[in-house]
């Protein structure tokens, strides 16, 4: 596997997405790594809100990047590149979930009961005692458990809006739903979480579901290795 030179990554670290996309299309394919590293955490959080199994999440991330690269010429710039990319990742996550025998069923029209998923969290050992936790990271972990117990329609909206910080319009485009639906689901998600968590835990949303450097390197490396093995252009130019 061959990665882009560190100097190249630094040089284009602040370049607009559109410039990098144009350069990749023009043959500077190594710059695709800049886009992956720029959006790894966002895509991870979006996919993690749907799949939750870490192995499935990383597999879906790889497939999303491979699909995005293969269809890069189809990006028309009518939406932000980041929105286009997240939408691809969400579609891959949904497809993987549909094919998985481990899918968790729920009623998206329900009034937001935590019971079935909280029981699953307890069995997996992720349940935590709020009084036993302190500090930003501990509160973020507590919040992660509660988010995981949300019904998926509320969970995905909450993660995109409160954890990742997207605005209502971008979240709606990423999920393929209306803005009013985003606002309604976010409101219900907040109410469910507030009923179970201390205020400090809600404030920890930006720290939830972090994507560390080691995992970032692993995903980027795996995608690049697959591109090199599958695409003669990558083998000839890198």
Taken in order of first residue, the domains within the chain and their CATH numbers are 6-237 (1.10.1740.10)
Which tens digits make up the pLDDT trace of 58-73?
999 999 999 999 999 9
CA 69 – CA 46 distance, rounded (Å): 19
Contacts 24+ apart (CB under 8 A), 98-104: 100/51, 100/56, 102/53
Residue 22's pLDDT band (boundaries 50, 70, 90)? Answer: very high
CB 21 within 8 A of CB 38: no
Which tens digits make up the pLDDT trace of 157-169?
999 999 999 999 9
CA 166 – CA 176 distance, rounded (Å): 14
Residue 147's pLDDT band (boundaries 50, 70, 90)? Answer: very high
Whether the pLDDT of residue 193 is over 90: the answer is yes
């Amino acid at each position: 596997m061959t990665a882009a030179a560190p100097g190249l990554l630094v040089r284009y670290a602040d370049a607009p997405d559109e410039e990098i996309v144009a350069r990749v299309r023009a043959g500077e394919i190594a710059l695709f790594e800049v886009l992956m590293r720029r959006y790894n955490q966002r895509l991870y959080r979006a996919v993690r809100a749907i799949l939750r199994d870490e192995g499935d999440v990383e597999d879906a991330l790889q497939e999303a990047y491979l699909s995005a690269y293969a269809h890069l010429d189809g990006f028309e710039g009518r939406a932000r590149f980041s929105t286009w990319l997240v939408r691809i990742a969400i579609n891959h996550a949904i497809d993987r979930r549909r094919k998985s025998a481990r899918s968790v069923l729920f009623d998206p029209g329900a009034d937001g009961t935590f019971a079935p998923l909280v029981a699953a969290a307890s069995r997996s050992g992720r349940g935590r005692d709020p009084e036993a936790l302190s500090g930003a990271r501990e509160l973020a972990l507590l919040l992660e458990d509660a988010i995981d117990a949300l019904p998926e329609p509320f969970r995905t909206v909450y993660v995109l809006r409160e954890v990742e910080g997207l605005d209502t319009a971008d979240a709606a485009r990423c999920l393929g739903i209306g803005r009013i639906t985003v606002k309604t689901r976010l409101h219900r998600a907040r109410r469910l979480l507030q009923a179970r968590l201390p205020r400090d835990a809600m404030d920890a949303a930006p720290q939830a579901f972090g994507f560390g450097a080691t995992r970032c390197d692993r995903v980027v490396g795996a995608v690049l290795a697959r591109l090199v093995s599958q695409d003669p252009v990558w083998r000839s130019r890198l």
